Amino acid sequence: MKKSIGILGGMGPLATADLFRKIVLLTGAACDNDHIRIYIDDNASIPDRTAAILHGGPDPLPAMTDSLRKLEACGADCLIMPCNTAHYFLPHLQALTAIPFLSMLEATARACREKFPGKAAAVLATQGTLSAGLYQDALSGEQVPFLVPGGAEQEALMRVIYGGVKAGRPPESYRADMEMVLDRLAAQGADYFILGCTELPLAASLLGLSVPTVDPTSELARAAIRFCGYPVNPAAIL
């Protein structure tokens, strides 16, 4: 029996739309009826996850739990979140429901091991994700070598994410920051880059970057498609 997806979204809205688009494009479907039923709660009122982790900002769990309950009521068979930093709260959310959450972090770590065996990944992510060690733990579990940005690079990435993509600024306003981060990490031995914030695949696309990357949004989309019993389109180009 085919299953459905619930997207706990709004973190942010553009990243949620990107995940939905990638699920549709990556599903092996010959017509409308071959696609997956998807429920989306685009709850943009969820408080910022990085601020909660690093600075004691408003707790996002109540709003995330509200979204969870709405997706339960819709009848979703699995739950996914288009926000890497939000995975800090995934164990708390999973304890509240019998519906399985699929982890973007785990899907990405598996993809790194399979696509770049023995190569070193650079983790591009928010300060909240990096501080919590979310990708460090997931990559270590798959024995993937990695390195993380230093303080100046983390600050530049936050400008790309928050001052650039989330703010709707044109890509040229954050090109210098993004290229600086890539250049410095490549010089330190990075072979490829994990776009470990859901705004970063959007930034990479808008900037036309040509460096080797792993897109966690696409990897989560593939994991959800497989979980629901549908084929992944091997010819899809994202």
* pLDDT score, position 216: 97
Active site residue 83: yes
pTM of the model: 0.94
Q: Are 132 and 155 in contact (CB under 8 A)?
A: no
Structure confidence at residue 234 (pLDDT): 86
Provide the pLDDT for residue 68. 98
Distance, CA of 120 to CA of 116 (rounded, Å): 8
Rounded to an integer, what is the distance from CA 237 to the centroid of its chain? 18
All domains in the chain, ordered by first residue = 5-103+218-227 (3.40.50.1860), 105-216 (3.40.50.1860)
Mean pLDDT by 10 residues, the chain (238 residues): 96 95 97 97 96 94 98 98 96 98 98 97 96 96 97 96 95 97 98 96 94 97 98 86
Model confidence over 68-92: pLDDT tens digits? Answer: 999 999 999 999 999 999 999 999 9
Q: Among the options 31, 74, 83, 228, which is catalytic?
A: 83
pLDDT tens column, 1-37? 899 999 999 999 999 999 999 999 999 999 999 999 9
Which of these is catalytic: 31, 74, 78, 197? Answer: 197
Which element (helix H / strand E) includes 80? strand 78-80
Active site (annotated) includes residue 228: no
Give CA–CA dist 46/65, Å, rounded: 10
